[in-house]
Structures are given as C-alpha cells and as structure tokens.
Structure 1
Amino acid sequence: MKTLIAPALVATAALTGAANASLSSDVKTYAPGEDIPNLTAAETASLHLIVNGGGSESEKRNAVRKIVN
C-alpha cells in the first residue's frame, strides 16, 4: 500500500504545479500585474471556479480582482 501512495503524491504535486501555472496565466488576463503565489487553497479553488465557470468577462474580471487584491 505504501508503494502506491508515494507515486500518487508525486503525481498530485506535479499536476498542481501545472494547474497553478495555468491559473496564474488566467489571473493575469483578468487582473494584470497581480500574482497568486501567496493565496490560500480556498482562494485558489475559487479562482479556478471563476475563470473556468460561466459569466461575462467583466464579471470574471471583477471576481478575480476581489480575490487577488
């Protein structure tokens, strides 16, 4: 069982890094000049929902700016 857990953790860490790089790019689209390295997990999850969800571009921009500012 331990042999299955370690590779799963490594894969999760790798995917999280790639997802955050993509999210950072999306955040810069809606809030230029802002960066996301110091956000909490909840804030990051909210940003994912905002940029990938429905709504107009201005609604997304306003929601993203509320979180990153």
Structure 2
Amino acid sequence: MKTLIASALVATAALTGAAYANTAPQLDSEAKYVLPGADFSGLSAAEVHAVNNALKSGASNSEKQALIRAFLN
C-alpha cells in the first residue's frame, strides 16, 4: 500500500512539473503600470521571470523601471 501511494505521489509530481514547464510565463500586469507604453512582446521566458521578480522586489518604481528597461534593450 505504501508503494502504491509513493508511486502515485511521484507520478503526480512528475506530471505537474512537466505541465508547468510547458506553459509560457505570464508577465505581471504591474509591468504595464510601472513602465507604460513599453513593448514586452520580445521577452524570452527567462526575461519575463526576471521582470516579474524585479516587480516583486522592494525597489522603488524608478529602480524597477531601470531594471525592466535593461531587459527591453
């Protein structure tokens, strides 16, 4: 019984990870508020994650704008 439960948990974790890895990351809506008029369409998945992390940091809006501009250029 323990083996069955452990196998089910491993399979669930593997499928959940695969499903998560196949989805494209979504840009936080705050990005368009912090940097209005910016074109975010050319960002890679890693850059979207970095921009989202910058938005969630404790930085000021001007610091967030500078970080995001670095990824857009």
TM-score (ref. length: structure 2): 0.58
**Unmatched tracts of structure 1, length 5 or more:** none
Q: State the SS of the aligned residue for 1:20.
A: coil
Percent sequence identity is 30
Report runs of 4+ in structure 1 exceeding 3 Å deviation: 3-6
Instruction: Give aligned pairs, total.
Output: 63
Higher radius of gyration, 1 or 2:
2
TM-score (ref. length: structure 1): 0.61
Superposition RMSD in Å: 2.8
Q: Which has the higher helix share?
A: 1
Contact 1:28 1:35 (C-alpha < 8 Å) held by counterparts:
no
